[in-house]
Amino acid sequence: MQQEKLESKVRKLFERQGFQLKSTKNGFRAEKNNSEMVLKVFSSEEYSHDEIPAKVEENNKVFIDPDLSELEELVENDISVLKEEKESQEFETPSYEVIGNIAVINDLAGVDRKKAVEGILHHQNVKTILLKKGGLEGEFRVGNYEKLYGEETETIHTEFGCNYQVDPTKAYFSERFSTERKRVVDQIEDGEKVLVMFAGTGPFSILAAKETDPEKVVAIEKNPEGMNYLEENILINNVEETVEGIEGDVRDVLPELNEKFDRTIMPLPESADGFLELASENTEYNGVIHYYRFLEDDSWEELENEISEKIDNYEIMDKVECGERGPSVKRVCIDIRIR
Ligand SMILES: C[S@@+](CC[C@H](N)C(=O)[O-])C[C@H]1O[C@@H](n2cnc3c(N)ncnc32)[C@H](O)[C@@H]1O
């Protein structure tokens, strides 16, 4: 098999399990939830038997094609043979994310429902498989889901050592942005006051409290179901000393709080523009706003104009792409320092 084809099969296999992949000389570095693996890919077209190491190092996985399959016996594990036709026909799987022990398919992408379920169950030990129907809805950004397998929709998801009790059918949660959450949280300095304006079930707030040493984290969430999970998650992660959850609309809660924060996180890309003025009023001079938006056709200028219309003195520190909503729509974060 061609090297390119084999690498593409390995990439698909790991990406649909939520790994972030970076290309290396003969494969990938795969990262998920703080753990890393080295994936080495050796195709029979590019490599001969003696070029393949006789022992696979710990945390490495080796993938070969059927023409090199006798190496399975010779090389000390872990080595996998990727069979082109059989694998793709028997286990055709659409892309999906795994939240705790629930798999969520965003789009079947033409794959038959039954085959999708078989494929996911072959790769993952999940108790429920949900299919998202349409986009996220309403102010609470909750999707509509069809159950393709299993019944239970509540689960415990673990990420960077934090446990989150979530139910994606009741309150927004996505595993896909874990790396982005970590990027933001890693910037928090000791003693900061942090505001999470659209807190959901708590993945920014709880990670901030567990990984860093802020003075406090205020987490505001309007969806009562989201707030129930947030309160529960504050308790199960033992961060009640640091995180204060407040149920309500940020437009009502923040004027009442009348407080300024060193860092304001705005994870509501759909409509964060409507809250940017409020965020800047509640952020200290020299403080930072993490402003999430959807970027269409790479028109950064439009988003930058949006900011200049709402804030007088600021500096853009960083512009980061952190996901996709469609073929030409990216989820982005602009880190803004208030001046
Ligand atoms: C895209 S979700 C992000 C949730 C969470 N930060 C996360 O990353 O999982 C946005 C959240 O903002 C909440 N929300 C929307 N409008 C709000 C408002 N005006 N005030 C407070 N929360 C709001 C929604 O209910 C939803 O849970």
Q: Give yes or no for residue 249 CB within 6 A of ligand 1.
A: yes
Determine the Cα–Cα distance for residues 291 and 275; give it in Å rounded to an integer: 10
Determine the Cα–Cα distance for residues 277 and 333; give it in Å rounded to an integer: 17
Determine the Cα–Cα distance for residues 167 and 100; give it in Å rounded to an integer: 10
**Mean pLDDT, range 187-215, rounded to an integer:** 98
Determine the Cα–Cα distance for residues 238 and 204; give it in Å rounded to an integer: 15
Determine the Cα–Cα distance for residues 266 and 198; give it in Å rounded to an integer: 6
**Mean pLDDT, range 102-129, rounded to an integer:** 93
Q: Give yes or no for residue 164 CB within 6 A of ligand 1.
A: no
pLDDT at 34 over 80: no
Domains and CATH numbers, the chain: 3-86 (no CATH), 96-153 (no CATH), 157-338 (3.40.50.150)
CB 323 within 8 A of CB 338: no
Q: Of the given ranges (40-44, 68-72, 99-103, 165-169), which has the lowest mean pLDDT?
A: 68-72
Confidence of residue 84 (pLDDT cuts 50, 70, 90): low
Q: Of the given ranges (87-101, 110-124, 155-169), which has the lowest mean pLDDT?
A: 87-101
Backbone angles phi, psi at 78, to 5 degrees: -110, 120
**Mean pLDDT, range 64-91, rounded to an integer:** 67
Confidence of residue 89 (pLDDT cuts 50, 70, 90): low
Confidence of residue 85 (pLDDT cuts 50, 70, 90): very low
Determine the Cα–Cα distance for residues 219 and 227; give it in Å rounded to an integer: 9
d(CA 250, ligand 1 centre) in Å = 10
Half-sphere CA count of 284, side-chain side, radius 13 A: 11
**Mean pLDDT, range 21-28, rounded to an integer:** 88
Average pLDDT over the chain, rounded to an integer: 91
Q: Give yes or no for residue 96 CB within 6 A of ligand 1.
A: no
d(CA 94, ligand 1 centre) in Å = 27
Confidence of residue 62 (pLDDT cuts 50, 70, 90): confident
pLDDT at 177 over 90: yes
Ligand 1 site-directed mutation target among 222, 230, 294, most atoms within 8 Å of CB:
222
Q: Give yes or no for residue 303 CB within 6 A of ligand 1.
A: no
Burial 178-214 (b: 16+ CB within 10 A, else e): bbbbebbbeebeeebbbbbbbbbbbbbbbbbbbbbeb
Over the stretch 209-263, which tens digit does the pLDDT of each residue have?
A: 999 999 999 999 999 999 999 999 999 999 999 999 999 999 999 999 999 999 9
Atom of ligand 1 nearest to the CA of 270: 1
The protein residue whose alpha carbon is closest to atom 5 in ligand 1 is 200
Q: Of the given ranges (41-55, 144-158, 185-199), which has the lowest mean pLDDT?
A: 41-55
Q: Report the pLDDT value the prediction gives residue 112, as an integer from 0 to 100.
A: 93
Q: What share of the chain has pLDDT > 70, as a percent?
A: 94
Burial 313-331 (b: 16+ CB within 10 A, else e): ebeeeeeeebbeeeeeebb
Q: Report the pLDDT value the prediction gives residue 77, as an integer from 0 to 100.
A: 57
Count CB neighbours of 223 within 10 A: 22
Q: Report the pLDDT value the prediction gives residue 70, as an integer from 0 to 100.
A: 73
d(CA 325, ligand 1 centre) in Å = 17
Does the pTM surpass 0.95? The reply is no
pLDDT at 54 over 90: no
Count CB neighbours of 170 within 10 A: 18
